[in-house]
Amino acid sequence: MKKFKIILALIITSSFLFVGCETNDDGYTDEQNQDSSINYDFGTTVSKDFMGEIVNENGNPIQSATVTIGNTTAQTDINGVFIINGASVKSKFAYITVTKSGFLDGSRSVIPTSGVNKVKIMLLDATVVGTVNSGTAGSVNLPNGTKVDFGGDFKKQDGSAYSGTVSVIMHHLDPADTDVEAKMPGMLLASDVNGQAKVLETFGMMNVELRGSGGEKLQLANDATIEMPITTGQIASSPSSIPLWHFDDTKGYWVEEGSATKVGNKYVGTVSHFSWWNCDAQFPTVNLCLTIVNPNNQPISNVQVELAPNNQTYPRSGTSDSSGEICGLIPANQTITMNIKDNCGNIIQTSQIGPFSSNTVLPTITLTTGMVAQTTVQGTLTDCNNTNVTNGYVILNYGNQNLYSNVTNGSFSFNTLVCSGNDDFTLEGFDYDSVQTTGEISYTFTTPVTNIGTLVACTAVAEYITYQIDNEPVDYFIGNISASSSPNGLNVSLQGTTGTSSFYFYGDIFATGSYTTANFLIENSEVIIQNGVTNNVVCNVSQIGAIGGYIDITFSGTYDDNGTTKSISGVIHVIRDN
């Protein structure tokens, strides 16, 4: 089975940025982002692939959101997932925007890698939190103390004066929020007043949108005063005065404009217009690269790496790509704590790195088997006709992550770390063309390879059995499948009719877990696997649902077939009858 490893774009947006490596130093500036206010090198025009998920503040998917990258747009599906291949972007900067009625516009800026760039954007509700009236000074507050004082003069987008009630939509982002990277716009790349590119440490962000009585967007006609609370963990380190930065939603980066003063536990400043505003400390930068591998010097993807400069309160994290590589901008001349985490958020290695005064490549980081277990999850996704899906994806839900893998002629593959004491995960496959799904199926990890077998994306098929011997075509069973769990064990059977095959699985199995053929047997017209046959076939029972729920089993291994060693892998996804 051909393996396909996804490449994850990585951005750590805080006082440092982690990004996929890109070698391009031609000094070309993006014509779409060309601006004398920043000296950042955007690189040359390239074609890149993107995949991502758009969710709301509760983490639920948003369907039919419009995602735009360059001149290409796509709509999110029922899972909030979008796929855009061949988008025209810059080699060192890609700007993704998202719109959906009922939500504020969202965005993400990334430095694209050579593979499929993965992004997650969390849209904020466009909920009105207060109103003011033109011609009269007024204020709007959030429960946490965020506040705007308005002078009373407003204008329409064409510059003409507006008279009437003004609805105020307002959000505040706390740096302590674990979802701050997903909620904030762009990334924390910024242009200071001298046009120098900087990376930022945020002390809080706020977004304000003004709407007229007809729903039209408004702007300030005179200055407003903003107040943003300083989160408890940053009060001691917060400076008495801090630059203010607004987000340029055309260019995709922050621009320095004015400053805020510390008053008690708040920053107070004056702004002349509304978009996103940010209270941030700025830092000179150097480029840092690192690679994570296993003891066989094979790259490990989907590893969470967290960096925290020692003079800052909140770390930011990202994920290694399929080459095990992470590169990006970090503050120069600072010691940094680096934590490597498994997929459940547990720290498996910690170290101090830096300070660095110039661009640096760290020695390769090897994660040993004593630190963490690693597995490759691989399989094939087919449609209702048992044909390999050519345009689709598979979601792996495990620990605190949703991982996504495109399919290549049906094949999919994930590389992930397995948390101690947590071997259970789910998969769900989607045929993007026919809008069919496998449904969510439970599995159990095995190391070093978890062979899933064949998943069937066919919404009309509620239950099925598939298996494959060596590289032969996949055998696919649907129909009146009987499945039971009783004091005698598990029993799954499909009685074939004339010209069709039967299938039988029986096991002295009463709970989820991993079993050998001392506990189960598989029989049909072309294969007999049981305790009396030389084999090392193992089955993993990941779910035994209540009556009407699912029984989920995978099996794989090798067996002797009249003196010939053959391999087999299969999936049993059936509804329990009794």
- pLDDT tens string 283-336: 877 777 888 888 888 888 778 888 887 767 777 777 777 677 776 667 788 899
419 in a structural domain:
yes
Alpha-carbon distance of 523 to 7, in angstroms, equals 40
Residue ending a domain, among 435, 461, 487, is 461
> Do 393 and 470 belong to one domain?
no
Domain total for the chain?
2
> Do 403 and 495 belong to one domain?
no
Instruction: Write the CATH number for 403.
Output: 2.60.40.10
Q: What is the DSSP string of 459-514?
A: TT---EEEEEETTSPPEEE-SS-EEEEETTEEEEEE---TTS--EEEEE---SSEE
DSSP-assigned letter for residue 234? G
In sequence order, the 6+-apart residues with CB closer than 8 A to the CB of 484 are: 490, 491, 576, 577, 578
49 in a structural domain:
no
Task: Give yes or no for residue 15 having a pLDDT over 70.
Answer: no
> Do 397 and 444 belong to one domain?
yes
- pLDDT, residue 19, reads 38
60 in a structural domain:
no
Residue ending a domain, among 461, 488, 503, is 461
> Do 511 and 530 belong to one domain?
yes
> Do 453 and 499 belong to one domain?
no
> Do 484 and 553 belong to one domain?
yes
Residue 220: count other Cβ atoms within 10 Å of its Cβ.
Answer: 18
**Which domain covers residue 454, as residue numbers?**
372-461
Band of pLDDT at residue 143, cut at 50, 70 and 90: very high
Percent of the chain's residues with pLDDT above 70: 91
542 in a structural domain:
yes
Distances (CA, A) of 208 to 211, 216, 320, 504: 10, 14, 34, 62
- pLDDT, residue 29, reads 36
> Do 510 and 434 belong to one domain?
no
- pLDDT, residue 322, reads 67
> Do 473 and 569 belong to one domain?
yes
> Do 498 and 565 belong to one domain?
yes
What mean pLDDT comes out for the span 458-484? Answer: 84
128 in a structural domain:
no
Higher-confidence position of 223 and 26: 223
Residue ending a domain, among 461, 489, 507, is 461
The token duo for 246 is: 């607004």
Band of pLDDT at residue 424, cut at 50, 70 and 90: confident
In sequence order, the 6+-apart residues with CB closer than 8 A to the CB of 69 are: 50, 84, 87, 89, 94, 95, 96, 97
92 in a structural domain:
no
544 in a structural domain:
yes
What mean pLDDT comes out for the span 386-395? Answer: 91
